[in-house]
Amino acid sequence: MSAYAYSVLAIIGINVMLAVSLNMITGFCGQFSLGHAAFYGAGAYAAASLAASGLPVVPALLAGIVVAALLGAVVGFASLRLRHDFLAVTTIGVSFLFVGFVRKQAWLGAEMGISRIPPSGLGSEGNALLILACALATIGLSLYVNRSWMGFSFRAVGDDEDAARTVGISVTAYKLAAFTLGTGIAGLAGGLYAYFTQFIVPDSFGFLVSVMLMAMVVIGGTGSTLGVAAAAVILTLLPEFFRFMNDYRLLVFGALLVLVVRFAPGGLAGIGRAAIARARGGGAAPQ
């Protein structure tokens, strides 16, 4: 495989990790977050700056996870007090705040970003395989969480907080757990991205990236791990396959988002379920 193919694979893997981890927060636990790119960026910046100052790969990646998860826990605390709409706007704020802060920090390279990130030592092939392995592990973890008691509690909190509290589920603990887990994975994705590109700038983690990730979750079908992973793969590949689309990437994302929400609110997962039900001869299935 060519270097280009490996780089596409790596980007797919990173987007899958980000979308699936956002789905844990938004899809499972019902906490609307439009600031996922900020945690991705926090992980990337933590790993990159430590790696540039000489830390080996594994501790640098771990540091990325920890920094992102800590930031995620802070936002999780905010989600304990805020209503849904307030949380959406606050997480948008986190996205802007992160980029606005990093841009002005000389020790993080300000506008120029960090460019002296040492190679991971795995080569482009090894990097891509490592990222793919992490993406598969994320999907596996997400499927496992969804079937576990934790996933059950997440869904209970997402459906109706008050009802969940009544049956003895600690809403506080599970909201914080969802945010910490999801943002920790985003931090790992950020660290892997930093090693993969060896060069990061603030704008790679801006609000538009958060919107793109939310688009993957919604188009894939909010709450469905496999649907979201499929959407992440498709939405990453589309502009690669159709070169002319590269210029219209945002136009297509916007249009898909509007059309999916308007005509198939269940996303890919909803369409897939309906198709399976029809194939089994069950007639028209509900969305």
Partner 1 sequence: MSYYLDLAFNGVVFGCMYALMAVGLTLVYGLLRILHIAHAAVYAFGAYVAVIVANGSGSLALGLAASLAAAALLGMAIYRVLYQPLLAYPPYVAMIASIGLLVLMEDGFRIAFGEQGLTFARNPYPTQLHEFAGLTVNTVQIAIIGASTLCLILLALFTSRTRIGIGWRATVSDPAMAASFGVNAIKVRYLNFAIGSALAALAGALIALLDNFVEPTMGFVVSYKALAVIVLGGLGSLQGTLVASLALGLIESYGTIFVGRFMDRDAIAFLFLIAVLIVRPQGLAWKAA
8 A C-beta contact, residue 75 and residue 187: no
Question: Shortest approach of partner 1 to residue 276 CB, angstroms?
Answer: 23
Of the candidates 4, 3, 18, the one whose C-alpha atom is nearest the C-alpha of residue 233 is 18
Question: Shortest approach of partner 1 to residue 143 CB, angstroms?
Answer: 24
Q: Which is nearer to partner 1, 90 or 236 (CB)?
A: 90
CB-facing half-sphere around the CA of 50: CA atoms within 13 A: 20
Q: How far is 57 from 247, CA to CA, in rounded Å?
A: 35
Q: Which is nearer to partner 1, 32 or 118 (CB)?
A: 32
Please state, as a whole number, how many other Cβ atoms lie within 10 Å of the Cβ of residue 203: 14
Q: Which is nearer to partner 1, 261 or 276 (CB)?
A: 261
Q: Which residues bind partner 1 (CB under 8 A)?
A: 32, 34, 78, 81-86, 88-90, 92-94, 96-97, 99-101, 103-105, 207-208, 211, 214-215, 218, 247-248, 250-251, 253-258, 261-262, 265
Question: Shortest approach of partner 1 to residue 77 CB, angstroms?
Answer: 9
8 A C-beta contact, residue 208 and residue 249: no
Question: Shortest approach of partner 1 to residue 46 CB, angstroms?
Answer: 18
Q: How far is 130 from 124, CA to CA, in rounded Å?
A: 10
DSSP secondary structure code for residue 175 in this structure: H
Question: Shortest approach of partner 1 to residue 252 CB, angstroms?
Answer: 9
Q: How far is 131 from 227, CA to CA, in rounded Å?
A: 20
Q: Which is nearer to partner 1, 83 or 280 (CB)?
A: 83
Q: Which is nearer to partner 1, 132 or 228 (CB)?
A: 228
